[in-house]
C-alpha cells in the first residue's frame, strides 16, 4: 500500500500523469481554454470562464478542472505533493522502459519524502538493476531503519553483503532478519536464513556459532512435521542433503556435539546409499574425538575395506594419528603395506606409503613405489614426491632427470614450486646439484636436455648463482636450436630467450643481450615473434649506448607494423634516452597527435616531454605540461610528486607543493624519489630538521647514493651547521655525478663550488 495521502496522489495525476500521457500519444499541444464555437461572438460582458485543461475532441468527454484547495497547503503538504508527483513520474518512465529516468524521478520523490519505505523499495530494485550496488545498499539500510520488522529485506541485504565478501555485515543483517518479531521461527524462510548464517560463520572461523545455526537446519530436515516448510525452501535443502548432512555432522564433531554428529553422519549415509564406508569413516572421527581410539581404528578399517578414495590423503593421515594416540606408530607402515596390496591402483595410498619409507630412510623401497605408481604418466603428485625423495638422499642425477619430466609435463612446475624454493635456499645442496649438472652437461652425449637445462638455469638464478645460470641458459638455448622437433626449436627457443633476456637486463648486460637478440631476429622459426624481437633489440641497443643501431632496429619494426603505438613510442623514447632533446620533442609531439586515445602511453610521453623541456632549461613549458596532466588526473601520485618537486626547485607555490608531494607519499611511503621531493620542499620552506628526516630516509634506501639526493642531504646538513657531514656527502655526490652515464656539467660545477667554499 502506498505511503501517500489520497489528495496528493490525485493532484499528482492531474498535474503530471495526464499531460505526460498526452505527449506520449502524440498530441501537439493542449488548449488553455475551451474551444470556441463557430458563429458565436465573444461577449465582453460575459463572466470570464475559468481556464481548464481539455483532452481535445474525440479523445475523452470529461473536462478536468485544476484543483484549488480552499485552504493554502502547508510546506509539509507541498512536499508530499511534490513527492507524489515525482513518484508517479517515475512510474510513468518505468512503464516506458526509461529506467534511468525513472530512477532519477524516484530519487527526487525520496528527497521530498525521505520517510516513505515504498519509495526506498522501488529505489532498491532499480539501483540493483542498474548495477548501482552501493546506492542499493544505502537505500536498503534506510528502509530497514524505517521498518525493522521487514525480515525479507534484511535477508536480501545480508545476502548482497555476503556476495560482496562483506561477511561481518552480512551476518549482522541476517541476524536482524532471524530476530525479527514478525518472522515465524518454524518457517522455511527462517531455516534458510540459519543455513546462510551457518555458512558465513564457518567462513569467519566461528565454529560454535555455525554449529548453533546448523542445529536449526538439522532439526528442520529431520523433524519436518514441526516446521511449516514452503516447497521452494525445502527443495533447496533436500537437493543437496547428502553432503549437507555430512557437513553438519563435521560441524557438530568439531564443536563436541558428538551425539548429534553421529545422528547427522547416519543421515548422510542414508542419503548416500551404498556407501557405508563413508559413515564408518565419520564414526571413526567421533570415536577418536571421544578418545575411544581402538573403536576409531576398527571403524576406519571399514572405509579402507570398501577401497574408497573420497577422503584422499586425509584418510591415511588419520590412521597415523590414531596409531600415535595408541602408542603404536610402528604399525603404520605394515598397515599401509597391507592396504596397498589390496588396493594396488590407489596412487594416493601408494604415495603416502612411499613418504613413510622415505622418512625411515628406506629410499629404494620409496623409489620403487613411486616409479611403479607413476609408470609412463606425467602424474605431477608422484613426480613431486620423487623430487623430494631425491633431494633428501642427494641423488642429483635422478633429480635432474625427474625435473626434466616435470617440465615436459606442463603444469607440474606449479606443483613443486615450494620444493624448488627450498632447494634454491640450500646453498650446500645447490653447490652439489650444479657440480653434478656441469659434469652431465660436458658428457658426450650430454646428460642434460633442453628441459633440465632450463630448470637448472632458473634454480641457479634464484639461488644467486649467476655464472651457473648463464651457463645453463646458454646450454638450453643451444640444445633447443639443435632439437629434432621444430616446436622446440621455435616455441622453446623463444621461451628460453625471454627468460635469459630478463636475467641479462637485471645484470645490465645489454651488449650480450643485443647479440643474443640479433641472432634471434635472423632465426626463421621465430618469424612470428619478429616484431617483438626487434622491439627488444632496439631497447637493448639503446641501453648499450648504440643509438644509431637502435633506431635502425626500431625503423625495421615500424616498417613491418606502421600503425603500432608501442613502436612509435619507442622511437620517441630512443631520442629521449640518448638526450637528443630536439628530435625527442618532435617525435613525442607527433605521437600525441597520432595516438590521443592511448591513455597509458600518452601519460608516459607527456611525462618525458615535461622532463625534456626542463632539461633544455625551459622550466615554464615543463611546468605547463605537468599542470595540464594534473588537471586531468588530480590524485596521480607521480604527477603530484614531479610537479611539487619542480615548484620547490623554483622556490614557488611551496605550500601547494608540500600538499602535492604528501599525496604521492601517501600512496608509497617508502618511495625514494617521493621522500627526496618532500625533503627538498621542506628545505625550501627552511624546515631543515624535518627535511633532514625525509632526506636521510631516501638516502638509506637502495639507490639512495644518487648524486642529487646526496647533494640535497648535504645542503641540509650545511644549514644545520653539520659542516663535516655536508662536506663528505658533497664529495660522494661529486664522484657519483662524474661517474654517471650522462654527467650533468651544471651539477658538477655546483658541487665543486660548494666543496671550495
Mean pLDDT, range 124-133, rounded to an integer? 76
Does 7 score more than 60 pLDDT? Answer: no
Does 18 score more than 50 pLDDT? Answer: no
Does 94 score more than 90 pLDDT? Answer: no
The more confident residue out of 523 and 82 is 523
Look at the alpha carbons of 667, 672, 677, 678 in this order and tell me if their dihedral is positive or negative: positive
Confidence band of 727 (pLDDT split at 50, 70, 90): very high
- How far, in Å, CA of 630 to CA of 301, rounded? 71
Mean pLDDT, range 462-482, rounded to an integer? 94
Lowest mean pLDDT among 90-99, 194-203, 543-552, 576-585: 90-99
Cis peptide before 311 (omega within 30 of 0): no
DSSP state of 464: T
Look at the alpha carbons of 569, 572, 576, 578 in this order and tell me if their dihedral is positive or negative: positive
- How far, in Å, CA of 430 to CA of 422, rounded? 10
φ and ψ at 228, to 5 degrees? -100, 75
Residue pair 565/595 in contact (Cβ under 8 Å)? The answer is yes
For residue range 269-280, what is the model confidence (pLDDT) as tens digits?
Answer: 777 665 678 888
Does 603 score more than 90 pLDDT? Answer: yes
Confidence band of 20 (pLDDT split at 50, 70, 90): very low
For residue range 256-270, what is the model confidence (pLDDT) as tens digits?
Answer: 999 998 888 888 877
Helix/strand/coil percentages in the chain, nearest 5? 75, 0, 25
For every residue of 144-168, DSSP letters joined together read HHH-TT-HHHHHHHHHHHHHTT-HH
Q: Among candidates 552, 557, 591, 561, which has minimal Cα distance to 573?
A: 591
Confidence band of 166 (pLDDT split at 50, 70, 90): confident
pLDDT at res. 42? 40
For residue range 659-693, what is the model confidence (pLDDT) as tens digits?
Answer: 999 999 999 999 999 999 999 999 999 999 999 99
Q: Which residues pair with 64 in a beta bridge?
A: 53
Q: Among candidates 150, 154, 191, 189, which has minimal Cα distance to 169?
A: 154
CA distances from 598 to 300, 602, 610 (A): 64, 6, 18
- Grid cell locating 498: 625471454
pLDDT at res. 65? 55
Mean pLDDT, range 621-635, rounded to an integer? 94
Cα distance between the two ends of the chain: 88
Confidence band of 606 (pLDDT split at 50, 70, 90): very high
Question: Look-up: residue for cell 607521480?
Answer: 638
Confidence band of 62 (pLDDT split at 50, 70, 90): low
Lowest mean pLDDT among 27-41, 391-405, 481-495, 588-602: 27-41
pLDDT at res. 145? 73
pTM over 0.85: no
Q: What is the number of helices (H) and of strands (E) in the chain?
A: 42, 0
Mean pLDDT, range 182-201, rounded to an integer? 89
- How far, in Å, CA of 626 to CA of 259, rounded? 72
Lowest mean pLDDT among 453-467, 720-734, 742-756: 742-756
Most confident of 15-24, 331-340, 374-383: 331-340
pLDDT at res. 69? 63
- How far, in Å, CA of 265 to CA of 283, rounded? 7
Q: Among candidates 741, 680, 687, which has minimal Cα distance to 708?
A: 680
pLDDT at res. 97? 87
Mean pLDDT, range 239-255, rounded to an integer? 84
What dihedral do alpha carbons 156, 160, 165, 166 form, nearest 10°? -70
Confidence band of 473 (pLDDT split at 50, 70, 90): very high
Confidence band of 757 (pLDDT split at 50, 70, 90): confident
Residues whose CB falls within 8 Å of the CB of residue 256, separated by 6 or more in sequence, listed in order? 289
Share of the chain above pLDDT 90, in %: 55
Lowest mean pLDDT among 19-23, 206-210, 623-627: 19-23
User: 494: how many CB neighbours lie within 10 A of its CB?
Assistant: 19
What is residue 53's three-state secondary structure? strand
pLDDT at res. 419? 84
pLDDT at res. 371? 94
Mean pLDDT, range 354-375, rounded to an integer? 94
- Grid cell locating 698: 631516501
What dihedral do alpha carbons 649, 653, 659, 663 form, nearest 10°? -50
- How far, in Å, CA of 485 to CA of 195, rounded? 57
Mean pLDDT, range 366-393, rounded to an integer? 91
Q: How many CA atoms lie within 13 A of 505 on its CB side?
A: 14
Average pLDDT, the chain: 85
φ and ψ at 30, to 5 degrees? -115, 135
What is the Cα 290 distance to its own chain's centre? 43
pLDDT at res. 50? 41
Mean pLDDT, range 400-426, rounded to an integer? 85
- How far, in Å, CA of 311 to CA of 174, rounded? 33
Amino acid at each position: 500500500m502506498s505511503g501517500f495521502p489520497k489528495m496528493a496522489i490525485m493532484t499528482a495525476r492531474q498535474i503530471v500523469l495526464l499531460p505526460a500521457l498526452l505527449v506520449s500519444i502524440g498530441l501537439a499541444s493542449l488548449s488553455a481554454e475551451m474551444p470556441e464555437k463557430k458563429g458565436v461572438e465573444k461577449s465582453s460582458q460575459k463572466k470570464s470562464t475559468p481556464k481548464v485543461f481539455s483532452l481535445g475532441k474525440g479523445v475523452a468527454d470529461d473536462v478536468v478542472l485544476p484543483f484549488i484547495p480552499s485552504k493554502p497547503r502547508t510546506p509539509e503538504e507541498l512536499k508530499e505533493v511534490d513527492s507524489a508527483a515525482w513518484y508517479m513520474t517515475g512510474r510513468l518512465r518505468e512503464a516506458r522502459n526509461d529506467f534511468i529516468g525513472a530512477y532519477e524521478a524516484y530519487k527526487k520523490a525520496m528527497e521530498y519524502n525521505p520517510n516513505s519505505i515504498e519509495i526506498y523499495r522501488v529505489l532498491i530494485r532499480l539501483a540493483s538493476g542498474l548495477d548501482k550496488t552501493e546506492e542499493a545498499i544505502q537505500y536498503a539500510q534506510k528502509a530497514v531503519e524505517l521498518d525493522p520488522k521487514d525480515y525479507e529485506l534484511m535477508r536480501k541485504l545480508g545476502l548482497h553483503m555476503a556476495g560482496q565478501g562483506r561477511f561481518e555485515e552480512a551476518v549482522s543483517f541476517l541476524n536482524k532478519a532471524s530476530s525479527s518479531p514478525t518472522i515465524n521461527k518454524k518457517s522455511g524462510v527462517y531455516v534458510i536464513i540459519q543455513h546462510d548464517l551457518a555458512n558465513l560463520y564457518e567462513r569467519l572461523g566461528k565454529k560454535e556459532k555455525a554449529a548453533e545455526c546448523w542445529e536449526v537446519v538439522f532439526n528442520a530436515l529431520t523433524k519436518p512435521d514441526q516446521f511449516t516448510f514452503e516447497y521452494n525452501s525445502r527443495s533447496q535443502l533436500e537437493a543437496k542433503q547428502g553432503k549437507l548432512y555430512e557437513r553438519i555432522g563435521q560441524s557438530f564433531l568439531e564443536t563436541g556435539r558428538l551425539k548429534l554428529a553421529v545422528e547427522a553422519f547416519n543421515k548422510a549415509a542414508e542419503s548416500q546409499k551404498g556407501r557405508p564406508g563413508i559413515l564408518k569413516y565419520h564414526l571413526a572421527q567421533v570415536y577418536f574425538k571421544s578418545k575411544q581410539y581402538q573403536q576409531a581404528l576398527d571403524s576406519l578399517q571399514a572405509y579402507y575395506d570398501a577401497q574408497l578414495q573420497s577422503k584422499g590423503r586425509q584418510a591415511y593421515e588419520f590412521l597415523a594419528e590414531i596409531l600415535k594416540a595408541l602408542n603404536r606408530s610402528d604399525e603404520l607402515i605394515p598397515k599401509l603395506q597391507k592396504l596397498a596390496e589390496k588396493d594396488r591402483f590407489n596412487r594416493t595410498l601408494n604415495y603416502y606409503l612411499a613418504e613413510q619409507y622415505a622418512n625411515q630412510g628406506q629410499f629404494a623401497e620409496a623409489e620403487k613405489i613411486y616409479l611403479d605408481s607413476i609408470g609412463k604418466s606425467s602424474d605431477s603428485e608422484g613426480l613431486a614426491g620423487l623430487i623430494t625423495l631425491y633431494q633428501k638422499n642427494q641423488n642429483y642425477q635422478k633429480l635432474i632427470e625427474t625435473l626434466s619430466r616435470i617440465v615436459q609435463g606442463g603444469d607440474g612446475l606449479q606443483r613443486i614450486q615450494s620444493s624448488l624454493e627450498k632447494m634454491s635456499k640450500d646453498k650446500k645442496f645447490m653447490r652439489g646439484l650444479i657440480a653434478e649438472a656441469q659434469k652431465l652437461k660436458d658428457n658426450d652425449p650430454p646428460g642434460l636436455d633442453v628441459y633440465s637445462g632450463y630448470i637448472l638455469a632458473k634454480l641457479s638464478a634464484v639461488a644467486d648463482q649467476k655464472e651457473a645460470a648463464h651457463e645453463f641458459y646458454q646450454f638450453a638455448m643451444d640444445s633447443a636450436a639443435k632439437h629434432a622437433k621444430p616446436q622446440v626449436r621455435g616455441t622453446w627457443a623463444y621461451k628460453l630467450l625471454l627468460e635469459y633476456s630478463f636475467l641479462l637486463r637485471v645484470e645490465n648486460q645489454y651488449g650480450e643481450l643485443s647479440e643474443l637478440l640479433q641472432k634471434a631476429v635472423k632465426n626463421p622459426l621465430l618469424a612470428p615473434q619478429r616484431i617483438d624481437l626487434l622491439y627488444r633489440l632496439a631497447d637493448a641497443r639503446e641501453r648499450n649506448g648504440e643509438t644509431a643501431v637502435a633506431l635502425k632496429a626500431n625503423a625495421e619494426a615500424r616498417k613491418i607494423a606502421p600503425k603500432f603505438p608501442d613502436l612509435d613510442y619507442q622511437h620517441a623514447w630512443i631520442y629521449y634516452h640518448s638526450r637528443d632533446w630536439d628530435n625527442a620533442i618532435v617525435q613525442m609531439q607527433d605521437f600525441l597527435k597520432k595516438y590521443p586515445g592511448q591513455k597509458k602511453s600518452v601519460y608516459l610521453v607527456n611525462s618525458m616531454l615535461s622532463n625534456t623541456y626542463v632539461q633544455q632549461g625551459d622550466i615554464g613549458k615543463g611546468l605547463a605540461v605537468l599542470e595540464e596532466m594534473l588537471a586531468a588526473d588530480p590524485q596521480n601520485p607521480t604527477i603530484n610528486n614531479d610537479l611539487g618537486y619542480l615548484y620547490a626547485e623554483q622556490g614557488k607555490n611551496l605550500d601547494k607543493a608540500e600538499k602535492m608531494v604528501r599525496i604521492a607519499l601517501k600512496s608509497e611511503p617508502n618511495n625514494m624519489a617521493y621522500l627526496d621531493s618532500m625533503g627538498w620542499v621542506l628545505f625550501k620552506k627552511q624546515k631543515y630538521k624535518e627535511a633532514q628526516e625525509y632526506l636521510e630516509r631516501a638516502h638509506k634506501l637502495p639507490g639512495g647514493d644518487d648524486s642529487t639526493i646526496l647533494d640535497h642531504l648535504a645542503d641540509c646538513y650545511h644549514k644545520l651547521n653539520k659542516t663535516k657531514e655536508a662536506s663528505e656527502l658533497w664529495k660522494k655526490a661529486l664522484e657519483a655525478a662524474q661517474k654517471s652515464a650522462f654527467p650533468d656539467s651544471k651539477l658538477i660545477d655546483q658541487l665543486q663550488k660548494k666543496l671550495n667554499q
